[in-house]
């Protein structure tokens, strides 16, 4: 069975979700070019389920998003496209207050 261009069969339909990210992907790319995550990982040698540099990047993105106050990061990233911002699909609970505290511990 053929479909005209752009047409999808019922079994191949996928839901489309939309998340407003504004300027944050540009900031995330600039942070990547600066090596923010890697530098933070070297400076904060803690063992966590997520790299401390990712949490630091999350705090930077959260601050530059205009949200106030800085916490809770978990809710800040619960609806956004984390794979676009962080280069990997991370669970929102990685941005918990505990992980943010560990990332700032040194």
DSSP state of 87: S
Calculate ∠ Cα 72-37-69, nearest 5°.
Answer: 20
Q: What is the pLDDT of residues 17-40, one digit of tens each?
A: 766 668 889 999 999 999 999 999
Q: Where are the domains of the chain?
A: 20-103
pLDDT higher than threshold 90 for residue 67: no
What is the model's pTM? 0.74
Cα separation, 64 vs 81, whole angstroms: 16
Q: What is the pLDDT of residue 43?
A: 92
Give percent above pLDDT 90 in the chain. Answer: 33
Question: Using an 8 Å Cβ cutoff, are 102 and 46 in contact?
Answer: yes
């Amino acid at each position: 069975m053929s479909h005209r261009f752009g047409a999808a069969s019922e079994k191949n339909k996928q839901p489309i979700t939309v998340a407003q990210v504004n300027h944050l992907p540009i900031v995330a790319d600039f942070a990547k070019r600066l090596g923010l995550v890697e530098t933070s990982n070297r400076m904060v040698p803690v063992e966590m389920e997520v790299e401390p540099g990712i949490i630091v990047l999350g705090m930077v993105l959260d601050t530059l998003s205009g949200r106030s106050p800085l916490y809770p990061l978990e809710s800040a990233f619960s609806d956004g496209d984390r794979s676009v911002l962080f280069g990997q699909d991370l669970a929102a609970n990685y941005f918990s207050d505990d992980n943010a505290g560990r990332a700032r511990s040194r």
